[in-house]
Chain A
Amino acid sequence: MELAIGIILGACALGAGMAMIAGIGPGIGEGNAVAKACEAIGRQPESKSSVTTTMLMGCAIAETTGLYALVIAILLIFVAPSRLVNILVETMKNV
């Protein structure tokens, strides 16, 4: 029983860590997008406002992938272990 609980907790922690790998992509993508947008503003300063608006929207959307990963990690750390252990205990009672 203790071993099973340990495996559940370990797997949840490992899963949360692996989920956060998805946080790398938005960082790289957002950095590239902002760098290119700044380049565009440098070339066409008169369109600064519209480029900034589009850039903000793009960054916010790109960041969502990182947020999904963060939320999955939080759920795996705080919510999943207790639920899974409860399921395990219920199953053991029924056996």
Chain B
Amino acid sequence: MKKINATVLRETLYVAVGTAILSIVLNAVYLIIGRWNLTVLFGNILGAVVAVLNFFLMALTVQSSIGKDEKAIKTRVQFSLLFRLLFMFGVAVIAHFIPKAFDLIPLLISYFFPRIVIMCRGFIKLPGDETPASDAASDAEDGADPSGNEADDE
């Protein structure tokens, strides 16, 4: 199995932390307006987990595309998007048919958290926001091929 790139892990970690913070904010807002119950919490947790997983799967697709030809990359990314959208739709359907466990609205709101985190990410300088000079060093740490072409062992 191919090793996961350090950049992918780092970005997923940032998105996961940001999503967790936004989930707390969402629950606080529901609490303030007096509509909080456990279904809101479970819906929010399910949505946040799926949103982070969606980002991670997208990052993995991008990582595995490096070194392939243009047409193959386009097809791969398009299929990846299709399956990830279907996966998110499937989770929403499950949440809809178990209303005693999951509230659909917090689940759908949670799908947008990674986007908000990434938007805020532009204003915040975090450790790991490297310059091109330090990229080579991090690649060397990953054991990546400096040519950018990774062996496909699928």
Contacts and interface: CB of A to CB of B under 8 A. Distances in A.
Interface of A: 23, 26-28, 30-32, 34-35, 37-39, 41-42, 44-50, 52-53, 55-57, 59-61, 63-64, 66-67, 70-71, 73-75, 78-79
Contact of A56 (B11, B68, B96, B144): B11
Contact of B70 (A28, A39, A64): A39
Q: Contact size class for B?
A: 35 or more
A47 B135 contact: yes
9 contacts: A28-B78, A30-B81, A35-B65, A38-B65, A38-B148, A50-B130, A59-B62, A63-B81, A66-B81
Given A41-B148, A78-B96, A64 B112 contact: yes
Contact of A27 (B77, B96, B112, B147): B77
B62 to A, nearest CB: 6
Given A49-B138, A50-B135, A53-B7, A61 B118 contact: yes
A27 B82 contact: yes
Contacts of B121: 57
Nearest to B59: A56
B70 A35 contact: yes
Contacts of A27: 77-78, 81-82
B69 to A, nearest CB: 9
